[in-house]
Amino acid sequence: NRVHTTPQTLSQRQRPAMSPTLCLALSLASLAAGAAHYPRVSGARAASLRKAVPAWMQRGRRGAASLCRSSLDASRGSASGAPLGEIPGDPRVKMMQDNPEVVDEASMLKDSSFPIPPSELIEKAKLFPTWARSSFAGAPIAEDFKFVAPVVGPIDKATFTKAFSSFDLMEGFPDANTRAYNFHVDPFETNRVWFSTRFIGTHTGTMMGRIQPTGKVVVAPPQMNSVRFNEKGEINQITIGYAQDRQIGNTGGLGGVYGILYAIGAGLPFPEAQPWEMSWQYKAFQFLGRLAAPRN
């Protein structure tokens, strides 16, 4: 059972469009305005906050959010020409009748026009650990292939093939196990298989030709990955290493090779290859938020 949501046409929401940058600036300013409106903030501190934000902006917080949504809708065009799921109320997106905020995956997969059925795509994607162990030699890589990780890529086929052919994780971790699970086809992109991994392995071999064995057991956090196929069954995109819970494991919350290197004490010397740390800008933002918060 399913129901179709009703799309709103652009004619029903005739509002001026604005750039994403302007939307962001207006939203941040509106947050500042909201902080100035806390009823329990009083005295000189509250007065200084209110003076910093124009009155029209204080009244327009909801309007700012609405304008941004309208602008986003307008920039995406009609549902018929937009990617599946990127238009509010897209009738192609099926929702469960008993819970209209949960996608009816079975119905959407059944309606898919992609020539390779979901079950076959999943079986293909389950070869990922085997391909990875062989540096993707023999994997059906398409010419327009892309490799994308959290802070790496997109990388084209030639660069990807060269990079992986010169790197063998099994040399450093002979007992490495990807522990892949939860393979499923995306109902919005029916040529794409998502799956999770929980890598584990013991560093008993020399890694990258220079990192001597440490004997450390590396436990990575659960990571989300995907393999996308074209109609020929070739891989045209791989995404890997997106940590789902940075509290798990001993890689500092990092996924992929960066996490493995960090866990064995060989983390690379740049921020993207180190555990997340709060920036001074974010610290300042939180400090100002505490100042503006209501007091008991």
CATH code of residue 113? 3.10.450.50
Q: Residue 46 falls within a domain, yes or no?
A: no
Q: Residue 43 falls within a domain, yes or no?
A: no
Residue 247, domain extent? 103-290
* Average pLDDT value for residue range 94-119: 88
User: Alpha carbon of 113 to those of 121, 188, 190, 227: distances in Å?
Assistant: 14, 12, 8, 18
Q: Residue 54 falls within a domain, yes or no?
A: no
Q: What is the pLDDT of residue 25?
A: 52
Which has more confidence, 65 or 207? 207
* Residue 35: band (very low, low, confident or very high) from pLDDT cuts 50, 70, 90: very low
pLDDT digits (tens, 9 = 90+) for 55-68: 444 444 445 444 44
In order, the DSSP letters of 32-43 are HHHHHT-TT--H
pLDDT over 80 at 33, yes or no: no
Q: What is the pLDDT of residue 134?
A: 75
How many domains, in total, are found in the chain? 1
The model's pTM is 0.67
Residue 204: which of 176, 174, 249 has the closest Cα?
Answer: 174
Q: Which of 79-83, 130-134, 235-239, 251-255 has the lowest mean pLDDT?
A: 79-83
Q: Residue 202 falls within a domain, yes or no?
A: yes
Q: What is the pLDDT of residue 44?
A: 54
Q: What is the pLDDT of residue 1?
A: 43
What are the E-state strand segments in the chain? 2-4, 94-96, 141-148, 155-156, 180-185, 192-197, 200-202, 217-219, 223-229, 235-243
Q: What is the pLDDT of residue 43?
A: 52
Distance CA(270)–CA(262), nearest Å, equals 11
Structure tokens at 251: 């890689």
Q: What is the pLDDT of residue 94?
A: 84
Residue 30's φ and ψ, nearest 5 degrees, are -70, -35
Residue 225 contacts residue 197 (beta carbons within 8 Å): yes
* Residue 292: band (very low, low, confident or very high) from pLDDT cuts 50, 70, 90: confident
pLDDT over 80 at 119, yes or no: yes
pLDDT over 90 at 87, yes or no: no
